[in-house]
Chain A
Amino acid sequence: MRNIIGIVKTELDFRSRWIGNLLEYEGPLLSLYEDTDHPDTYYLHKWVDHDNNANRWVVVPMSLAAIHALFHQQTTFRQVILQADHIHLVDFDQKDNALQVLSIDIADLPDAYLPMQDSFYSESIYTEFAENFFRDRSRAGPPDNSGKN
């Protein structure tokens, strides 16, 4: 796995639970978690790397505004990551234990870890869970705060 510069943390500073996978191919590639303490705060987990011991995931917060913008193709998954307030890289072992948690600056995130420029949401590409989730959360219209997550 690539060596990434960041601040080593003992654990993530929020609690979240898995609610579904947005993209799969022989296992999850993009997953969605929700904050257990703050309703309507979600975390996007994007698989980016692995070695013999762990899978590495980028973890970024995702607001309802970002979800609405994604569903309506006003932004891309790449932009959601690039505009995130904070980014974590987490190495999970086979049993889902976090072996390493890094808080990193977006500038230190390798381009290979990012989706492509045109990574718009599309129903046909993503999972049925993604379709249901995005449609459900977007039904109320865009939140009052800006489209930035």
Chain B
Amino acid sequence: MLCGQVLLVFVGYVVKFMEIGGWGVENLENFSNFVGNMRSGRMSFPARTKPFFTMKLKYQENLESIGRNCPPDGYVAEQITPVYRWVFEQIEDPRNFQAPLFRKPTRFSESSPHRCCEAMALSMFDNLEGARARFLELKTAMGESIYKALGNRIAIGYIEKSDGLHGGRGRHGHFNFHPAETMNFHEKFQISTEAL
């Protein structure tokens, strides 16, 4: 086979791979399997899933206006169950899942691209203890006023792969989440307990 043909076949396989799952960290295993199947001649593609690089995010136009690296490199589409988020008393409260940048009035006044990008993500925790621990830290530092800023309940929910992109875990299992345009938080989250 000529080099050009090999290249074309390879490009074809790469395109096929990208169509089925994208380049997220969780897909490295898929990629490995994919290469193995390609070598052995056993090519079978899993059911087509929505590739995250074509996923339309909520605030997509705003995210694009920031330019490159928003959401940052390393953000992936991945199922996480359960997840926790601080919310106000009623799950239907529009503030609960609104990006901080678009709340009125927002506390953001800086304009750096990195900060603006971050302000369009929602804070989540991957464990209840972590969510409570961070809330206690902020309540200690801020006093009772923290309830008015962040709510007084913790909601439990789940995130599916097609629901958005999230960053790595930080202290207490905290992570930032950029929701997909199709994400319906009210279907996937419910009030679990008091924040503190």
> Which residues of chain B are near A46, meaning CB under 8 Å?
142
Least CB distance, A95 to chain B, in whole angstroms? 8
Interface secondary structure of B, over-half rule: helix
B95-151 interface with A by 8 A CB criterion: 100, 104-110, 119, 122-123, 134, 137-146, 148-150
CB distance from B109 to the nearest CB of A (A): 5
Asked if B171 and A124 sit within 8 Å, CB to CB, the answer is: yes
**Chain A 49-84 per-residue mask, 1 if CB under 8 angstroms from chain B, else 0:** 110111100000000000000000000011000000
Q: How close is B169's CB to chain A, nearest CB, in angstroms?
A: 15
Distance in Å from the Cβ of A12 to the closest Cβ of chain B? Answer: 16
Shortest distance between the CB of A53 and any CB in chain B (Å): 7
A105 touches B (CB below 8 Å): no
Question: What band does the interface of chain B fall in when counting residues whose beta carbon is under 8 Å from A?
Answer: 20 to 34
- CB pair B145–A55 under 8 Å, yes or no, is no
Q: How far is the CA of A113 from the CA of B141 in the complex (A)?
A: 11
A124 to B141, CA, bound (A): 12
Partner of A29, one of B104, B110, B138, B171: B138
Chain B residues near A126: list those with CB within 8 A: 141
A52 (CB) vs chain B CBs: closest residue: B104
**A107 proximal to B (CB < 8 A):** no
Contacts of B123 in A (CB 8 A): 25-26
Are A30 and B145 closer than 8 Å at their CB atoms?
A: no
B147 closest partner in A (C-beta)? A112
Q: CA separation between A134 and B141, bound complex, in Å?
A: 16
Q: How far is the CB of A45 from chain B (nearest CB, A)?
A: 11
Q: Quick one: given A47-B107, A115-B143, A116-B139, are A26 and B171 in contact (CB under 8 Å)?
A: no
**A98 CB within 8 Å of chain B:** no
A93: min CB distance to chain B, Å = 6
A40 proximal to B (CB < 8 A): no
Residues of B near A29 (CB, < 8 A) are 107, 138, 141-142, 146, 149
Q: Are B142 and A47 touching (Cβ within 8 A)?
A: yes
Complex contact A50–B105 (CB within 8 A): yes
Q: Do the beta carbons of B139 and A27 come within 8 Å of each other? A: no
Report whether B105 and A54 are in contact in the complex, using a CB–CB cutoff of 8 Å.
Answer: yes
| Smallest beta-carbon distance A3→chain B, Å | 15
Per CB-CB distance, the 6 closest pairs between chain A and chain B, nearest first, are A27-B107, A112-B144, A26-B100, A116-B140, A125-B137, A94-B105
Which residues does B use to contact A, with CB under 8 Å? 100, 104-110, 119, 122-123, 134, 137-146, 148-150, 171
List residues of A whose CB falls within 8 A of some B CB. Answer: 18, 23, 25-30, 46-50, 52-55, 77-78, 92-94, 96, 111-116, 118-119, 124-126
Other than A18-B110, A26-B100, A29-B141, give 13 A-B pairs with Cβ distance below 8 A: A18-B109, A25-B138, A26-B123, A27-B107, A27-B108, A29-B142, A49-B148, A53-B105, A55-B105, A93-B105, A94-B105, A111-B143, A125-B137
